[in-house]
């Protein structure tokens, strides 16, 4: 097997079980390997450390499959690891009975570059690394076996594939082709998922618990849901008895899907929902010029800082929306504010929100720190796996 030899001292992070090997840590590759091939990862002194997938085009030159240097990486390995990830979810009480479930969360489930989301009897698979690409068949077979799902759809069109030298690839891998969207039930709400054309694999499963929390907070409140996508928070607010819900997103198709989601749940008073297609940054300013104020505001923007390099610009954007969020709240009002940027850590995010409250001239406190649902685990040695952070704030 080809050997990827690390530069002197660079084995430390691998010994601490961090699954990435950056270009700067590599001394040389002994032998020949094609993208995605399995290599033996060894220290400069030749000690075996792990088995990893080779990604020559990426700054992340190798991603660890196993920290056991003797582990054979074959179909059986993927069968076991995928089955383990699926079984993990089955024991978590909050996840039982959910139609929409993340089954594989990349590195945090020991499968770098692999995302798998289950929507009813369909699994949507996203592969983002050369190693994952090589094992597509083994992973699809393992998913079919572990879940018993009828269909597997591949949705590998994420931009990050470009960094690995991979082009986009989407289509049915297993089962009878079907037409999107499909309907899932989340905490009793029927929601549609367009796995072929929607964002990511079609839906933002990480926000499941926070949408539910929004329901519990909404009773009698005037609600503003910014970056509403297909209306998950909005429908929960209606389910929780909100007086009115104004939802804003810049995407026409997302808003059309949101309107249909309201029709899928005819038990809710649809006349209390108002959908607006607009840029949130502008819409918040316009709202501020008017009289209308809110008792509960959700701010769930897209990833504004994919990496630390974008953190400063992103910080200004987060500050901006949170500032207007605070300004638009009635006394006693609640702000559910989120960041899914890898480049903005929880401490920085709290600082930004605190700065926004000061500039808005409000006295605010944090009632709860919020994160992703438990089907999005974070590897202990892989803090990069924590994307979603949120704060529930109340103004005085
Ligand atoms: N809260 C949603 C997920 C939000 S994803 C849920 O629970 O499902 C982020 C959304 O922000 C996307 O729908 C995207 O269309 C929208 N978006 C991105 N930039 C925007 C902007 N400047 N103004 C308004 N919406 C924007």
Of 72, 128, 126, give the one whose Cα is nearest residue 103: 126
Q: Return the pLDDT at 308.
A: 80
Residue 279 CA: nearest ligand 1 atom is: 23
Among 38, 37, 64, which residue's Cα sits nearest to residue 50? 64
- What is the distance between the alpha carbons of residues 181 and 179, in angstroms, rounded to a whole number? 6
Q: Three-class SS of residue 362?
A: coil
Nearest alpha-carbon partner for 378 in 188, 189, 106: 106
Question: Which among 396, 330, 334, 332 has a CA at the least distance from the CA of 370?
Answer: 334
Of 385, 395, 392, 381, nearest to 18 by C-alpha is 381
What is the spatial distance between Cα 343 and Cα 245, in angstroms, rounded to a whole number?
31
Query: Ligand 1: distance of its center to the CA of 302 in Å?
Result: 6
CA dist 24 and 91 (Å) reads: 40
Res 306: pLDDT: 78
Q: Cα(372)–Cα(376) distance, rounded to whole angstroms?
A: 6
Instruction: List the one residue out of 42, 36, 38 whose CA is nearest residue 72.
Output: 38
What pLDDT shows up at residue 96? 84
d(CA 107, CA 95): 20
Whole-angstrom Cα distance, residue 215 to residue 201?
24
Tokens 């699926």 correspond to what residue? 86
Q: How far apart are CA 176 and CA 178, in angstroms?
A: 6
Whether residue 282 has its Cβ less than 6 Å from ligand 1: no
Closest of 302, 284, 298, 305 to residue 360, by C-alpha? 284
CA dihedral sign of residues 133, 134, 139, 141: positive
Report d(CA 266, CA 297) in Å as an integer: 24
Q: How far is the CA of 382 from the centre of ligand 1 (A)?
A: 27
Q: Is 91 a catalytic residue?
A: no
Q: Which atom of ligand 1 is nearest to the CA of 302?
A: 9
pLDDT at 78: 99
CB 297 within 8 Å of CB 314: no
Residue 41, beta-bridge partner list = 4, 50
H/E segment holding residue 22: strand 20-22
Coil, strand or helix: which one is 154?
strand
Q: Would you say the CB of residue 233 lies under 6 angstroms from ligand 1?
A: yes
- Ligand 1 and 231: CB distance under 6 A: no
HEC-encoded secondary structure of 254-308: HHHHHHHHHHCCCCCCHHHEEEEECCHHHHHHHHHHCCCCEEEEEECCCCCCCCH
Q: Is 280 in the pocket of ligand 1 (CB under 6 A)?
A: yes
CA of 151 to the centre of ligand 1 (A): 28
pLDDT at 393: 98
Q: 376 alpha carbon to ligand 1 midpoint, in Å?
A: 20
DSSP at 244: E
What pLDDT is stored for residue 125 in this prediction?
A: 98
Cβ atoms of 39 and 11 within 8 Å: the answer is no
250 lines ligand 1 (CB under 6 A): yes
C-alpha of residue 227 to centroid of ligand 1, in Å: 3
Tell the residue nearest (CA) to atom 10 of ligand 1: 227
Residue from 226, 228, 340, 393 carrying the catalytic annotation: 340
- What does pTM read for this prediction? 0.96
The Cα 303–Cα 58 span in angstroms is: 21
Q: Is 158 in the pocket of ligand 1 (CB under 6 A)?
A: no
Interhelix angle 232-239/208-217, rounded to 10 degrees, is 30
pLDDT tens digit at each of 396 positions of the chain = 999 999 999 999 999 999 999 999 999 999 999 999 999 999 999 999 999 999 999 999 999 999 999 999 999 999 999 999 999 999 888 898 899 999 999 999 999 999 999 999 999 999 999 999 999 999 999 999 999 999 999 999 999 999 999 999 999 999 999 999 999 999 999 999 999 999 999 999 999 999 999 999 999 999 999 999 999 999 999 999 999 999 999 999 999 999 999 999 999 999 999 999 999 999 999 999 999 999 999 999 999 987 888 889 999 999 999 999 999 999 999 999 999 999 999 999 999 999 999 999 999 999 999 999 999 999 999 999 999 999 999 999
Ligand 1 pocket, mutate which of 200, 207, 229, 370 (most atoms under 8 A from CB)? 229
């Amino acid at each position: 097997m080809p050997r990827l030899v690390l530069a002197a001292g660079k084995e430390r992070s691998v010994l601490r079980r961090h699954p990435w090997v950056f270009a700067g840590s590599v001394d040389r590759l002994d032998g020949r390997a094609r993208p995605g091939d399995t290599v033996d990862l060894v220290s400069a002194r030749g000690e075996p450390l792990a088995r990893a997938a080779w990604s020559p085009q990426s700054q992340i030159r190798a991603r660890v499959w196993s920290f056991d240097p003797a582990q054979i990486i074959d179909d059986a390995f993927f069968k076991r690891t995928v089955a383990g990830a699926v079984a993990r979810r089955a024991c978590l009480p909050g996840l039982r009975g959910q139609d929409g479930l993340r089954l594989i969360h990349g590195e945090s489930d020991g499968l770098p570059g692999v995302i798998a989301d289950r929507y009813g009897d369909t699994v949507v698979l996203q592969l983002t690394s050369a190693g994952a690409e090589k094992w597509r068949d083994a992973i699809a077979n393992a998913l079919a076996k572990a879940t018993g799902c009828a269909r597997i759809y591949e949705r590998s069109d994420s931009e990050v594939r470009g960094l690995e030298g991979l082009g986009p690839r989407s289509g049915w891998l297993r089962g009878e082709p079907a037409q999107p969207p499909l309907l899932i039930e989340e905490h009793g709400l029927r929601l549609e998922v367009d796995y072929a054309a929607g964002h990511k694999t079609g839906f933002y499963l990480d926000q499941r618990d926070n949408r539910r929390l929004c329901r519990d907070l909404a009773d009698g409140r005037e609600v503003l849901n910014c970056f509403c996508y297909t209306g998950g928070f909005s429908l929960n607010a209606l389910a929780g008895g909100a007086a009115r819900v104004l939802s804003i997103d810049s995407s026409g198709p997302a808003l059309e899907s949101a309107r249909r989601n309201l029709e899928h749940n005819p038990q809710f008073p649809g006349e209390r929902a108002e959908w607006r297609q607009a840029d949130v940054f502008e819409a918040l300013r316009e709202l501020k010029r008017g009289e209308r104020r809110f008792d509960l505001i959700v701010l769930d923007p897209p990833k504004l800082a994919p990496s630390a390099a974008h953190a400063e610009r992103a910080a200004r954007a987060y500050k901006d929306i949170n500032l207007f969020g605070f300004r638009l709240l009635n006394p006693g009002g609640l702000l559910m504010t989120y960041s899914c940027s890898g480049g903005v850590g929880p401490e920085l995010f709290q600082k930004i929100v605190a700065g926004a409250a000061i500039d808005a001239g409000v006295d605010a406190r944090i009632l709860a720190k919020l994160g992703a649902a438990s089907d999005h685990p974070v590897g202990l040695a892989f803090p990069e796996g924590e994307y979603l952070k949120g704060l529930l704030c109340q103004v005085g």
